Structure 1
Amino acid sequence: MDLAETLAAIVGPGHVLGPERLALRDPGWCRGSQGAGLLVRPAGAAELSALLRATPGVAVVPQGGLTGLVEGTETHPGQLIVSFERMNRIHAIDPAQAVALVGAGVRLADLDAALEPFGLMAGVDIGARDSCTLGGMVATNAGGIRVLRYGMMRAGVLGLEVVLADGAVLDLTTPLLKNNAGYDLKQDFIGSEGTLGLVTKVALRLFPRPRGIATAMLGCAPSALSALMPRLRAALGEQLAAFEGIWPACFEHVARGLALTRRPLGPQDLYLILEAFGPDDTAARLALEAALEPLILDGTLGDAVIAQSASDRAAFWKIREGGGAIGSGGETVHSYDVSLRLADLDPYVTALEARAAGALPGVAVLVLGHVADGNLHVMLMGPPDLPRPPCDALVYGTLAGFSDASVSAEHGIGLEKRAILAQVQPPAVRAAMRALKAAYDPGNRLNPGKVLG
């Protein structure tokens, strides 16, 4: 019995896809995601456990919504793709406990729709909400636009069900907010990119859905960020939900791509999108106005406009999320995801632009990000033949001049950042990570080659 027949005996022949059927599917954002030529769709932990036990030594690569940006779902012949698309059941929503138990294949947008009648929502929200899955968000410790208010995915995960490389099933799905009964093993799997275990269920902490939202687009000098943030926190407290930044070159490129004929603000040194929650839209808007007025009067902000309607708000966010379309004109775009201290954000961008002008003339440096979190998304855009190695050297070489910086803020490591991680990670930390990998997956069959190599 060959591998496909073995799998079919466990999950049914309709859930084993060979090269022909795979070729009809969207490969997602990783061009090599279908390289294995064989995909299996288990219905849950029991089937996943059975197929792992029946295929010892076969390398498996987990795939969720295929929206990752670091080649973490790349596969090769001889490997097996495990898709979680059949694990798309919302098992329970407990509004009293504010917890949901969901399958790893549930899409974020579908969960959000199911939670709306209860006045609840997940804390994390990302631009790929219509396709990303909860299991993938756990595996990558997803961040997004509301980290300032609710933290990254790790902050909202109460429990997990995980299948290990040998087929053992760990039921860690407790919905309790307090649970100090031994080691908190779920933490090992959050952000591990499927290299330690395969997440099949998620117990997720929920939050009250905001009744009111106020959104503003601001302009300021980048040097004002460090003074701006403490004052916004003091004025808005927990109402401050999102704070995004777009540097001018990126703003202009996105605005042209969207064919904007009317822009919310005139030219600015730095464009910011600020969002505040409240008991209703009027209260949220009044709080936001009260917070911004003294900042405008004393010159901390150069300009500001507050959305007066849902369409205004959507227009602001369309500009921010329009960064995902950069490169759609046929250019080559190499994307990076770095993290720095707030005071270092603009000095890093300024240094990067200066170095790019000398080392890569004609290459555009486009920057946006979650500035309150210190997270920059950097895109180097150039001709179709723009090679990646000199772009890597430029981005990470510039980053090396700043202390307490990270080569990956929220996208993970995958294959794309494996080499730079090996360069910047302290040897003792790397040894500890390898020991953890060896303990959970001694045969290196779970997403092999990713993160550690």
Structure 2
Amino acid sequence: MTTTTDMFAAIVGTEHVLTAERLATRDPGYCTAALGASILVRPANSTELSRICEAANSRNIGLVPHGGLTGLVDGTASHPGDVIVSFERMSSILRIDPLQGIAVVEPGVTLGALQQALEPLGLMTGVDIPSRGSCTIGGMVSTNAGGIQVLKYGMMRQNVLGLEVVLANGRVLDLSNELLKNNAGYDLKQVFIGSEGTLGLVTKIVLKIWPVPGGTCCALLACDSPEILPSLFNSARKNFGADLMSFEAMWPEYFHLTTSQPGFGRPPLPMGRGIYVIIELAGTSQAEAQARLVAFLEAGFEKGAVADAVVAQSGSERHKIWRSREDSDAIDNVSDTSLSYDIGLKLVDLPNFAARLRQRCAARSADLVPYVFGHVGDGNLHVMFAIRKSDAAQREVYDGLIYDTLSEFSASTISAEHGIGIEKRAVLARSLAPDTLATLVDMKKALDPCNTLNPGKVIVAGERNPSSGTSSGTQEQ
């Protein structure tokens, strides 16, 4: 009988099938279990991937897709018996059409590479996230990434016009629409955006691209209390309308940590305030954007809403302000490891959630600090804990602090942009009604009846039974 290695080597070539020895030299990224499989294959195009999926489906082999490995919910974890599908060879920018406002790319293209290609044309991507140097467009589609410009440009779901997708049985779906308006039938691409590779594997993306604003300006604000956040954001939204690009917040513990790390230099603003906010504004020119932002800040000072502020006067000053918000890896520099949570609430509930969480943490231990920051304008908070490796086995304690607090607020979600993966699968029912969750399981079984596409992620849809090639219907452990 042909071995698994030989089977895939016949499709992609021996040099593109990596076994245990070569896998051991690779970086697993943010998921320590990413390289648990014994084989990795590197298809060059959708035809090869189609044959891989068909072969895996016939032998009931789990396929785990890998992009930039920057995901934070163990969505790239693999196990012995699985086969990793890496998109590193499918990393071409196929076409940029400035008039139509689209870029057609393969899934392995990094966000940073696409941004560099667009910059000389005066164009940009709508979605931007801190891991831009390594995250891939395919990975961003699979998790419906959001980032720091959602207010103006939306998440990936609003920025993807079309896809090409390979199903578990090898069928290739051409959903590569390039039209801004197209109501011909069901919008199938939306099924795959945010599905984390569990329903199909994306091989081509038609992405909206945008003109670079004539100018931008950002400022770091300090306010005395987080309670001001909802009204301050509402005021910014009324003043700037669609020109408001970002409205980010950092609770003081997080701001102190990121700005006091070695090499950061002098913090943009002094410590000691109750909340720190970054506002970035687009305008017809940098001077026009700055004038509007300065006027907003002056009004905020007069009303007592803003206690201190600094406006970026150069690219380096802007970079330093944004580094204070984006450099969450600083938490790993003060601890053995960290835990990261990504939640969503109504805007009015953000300050109260953070306050109640801090109270719960303090009641458990005086040394337990939740580092809170996030995209306040779209109701998305991130919470991180700096912990010892010995505490990682007690993950349920930290989960309880976050999700029990979250359950006190209506219209909340356990995931705003990171996805579900394995990490949040057990608590997915907290955010979805039973019938909704059951429908997701039905969709998984319909598109991937043998459960071979990123098995065990997002939902439990049945355990693979390699001997029969069918799903047993029992839950995975």
Q: TM-score, normalised by structure 2?
A: 0.93
Determine if the alignment matches structure 1 residue 94 to structure 2 residue 97: yes
- 2:356 aligned partner, one-letter code: A
Alignment of 1:49-198 (within 5 A): 49-55=50-56, 56=58, 57-198=60-201
Match of 2:49 in 1: 48
- 1:356 aligned partner, one-letter code: C
Alignment partner of 2:307 out of 302, 310, 317: 302
Moved more, 420-429 or 154-163: 420-429
- 2:418 aligned partner, one-letter code: H
* 1:11-38 CA distance string (max 9 Å, x none): 1111110011111111111000010120
- 2:435 aligned partner, one-letter code: A
Shift of 1:93: 0.6
Q: Secondary structure of the residue that 2:390 maps to in structure 1?
A: coil
Match of 1:281 in 2: 286
Alignment of 1:220-231 (within 5 A): 220=223, 221-231=225-235
Question: 2-side partners of 1:197 and 1:260: how far apart?
Answer: 42
Question: 1-side partners of 2:175 and 2:387: how far apart?
Answer: 47
Question: 1-side partners of 2:139 and 2:335: how far apart?
Answer: 29
Shift of 1:260: 4.4
Question: 1-side partners of 2:52 and 2:299: how far apart?
Answer: 62
Alignment partner of 1:235 out of 216, 233, 239: 239
- 2:258 aligned partner, one-letter code: V
Determine if the alignment matches structure 1 residue 352 to structure 2 residue 357: yes
Match of 1:264 in 2: 268
Shift of 1:261: 4.6
Match of 2:384 in 1: 379
Shift of 1:314: 0.8
Alignment partner of 1:218 out of 207, 218, 221: 221
- 1:356–1:365 Cα contact (<8 Å) kept: yes
Question: 2-side partners of 1:423 and 1:304: how far apart?
Answer: 39
* 1:52-72 CA distance string (max 9 Å, x none): 222321110111000000000
- 1:3 aligned partner, one-letter code: T
The verdict on how the C-alpha distance between 1:43 and 1:290 changes in structure 2, with shifts beyond 3 A counting, is same
Moved more, 390-399 or 222-231: 222-231
Shift of 1:188: 0.1
The verdict on how the C-alpha distance between 1:328 and 1:260 changes in structure 2, with shifts beyond 3 A counting, is closer
Shift of 1:343: 1.2
Question: 2-side partners of 1:325 and 1:167: how far apart?
Answer: 43
- 1:431 aligned partner, one-letter code: A
Structure 2: 5+ residue stretches without partners: 461-477
Moved more, 293-302 or 193-202: 293-302
Moved more, 242-251 or 292-301: 292-301
Shift of 1:309: 1.1
Q: TM-score, normalised by structure 1?
A: 0.98
Question: 1-side partners of 2:236 and 2:10: how far apart?
Answer: 59
Question: 1-side partners of 2:53 and 2:264: how far apart?
Answer: 52
Question: 2-side partners of 1:451 and 1:343: how far apart?
Answer: 29
Determine if the alignment matches structure 1 residue 11 to structure 2 residue 18: no
- 1:236–1:291 Cα contact (<8 Å) kept: no
Question: 2-side partners of 1:275 and 1:15: how far apart?
Answer: 44
Q: State the Cα RMSD in Å.
A: 1.2
Q: How many residues matched? A: 453
Percent sequence identity over matched residues? 51
- 1:248–1:268 Cα contact (<8 Å) kept: yes
Shift of 1:342: 1.2
Question: 2-side partners of 1:98 and 1:442: how far apart?
Answer: 37
Match of 2:395 in 1: 388
Q: Secondary structure of the residue that 1:326 maps to in structure 2?
A: helix
* 1:303-327 CA distance string (max 9 Å, x none): 1110111111111011111212312
Structure 1: 5+ residue stretches without partners: none
- 2:291 aligned partner, one-letter code: L
- 1:352–1:395 Cα contact (<8 Å) kept: yes
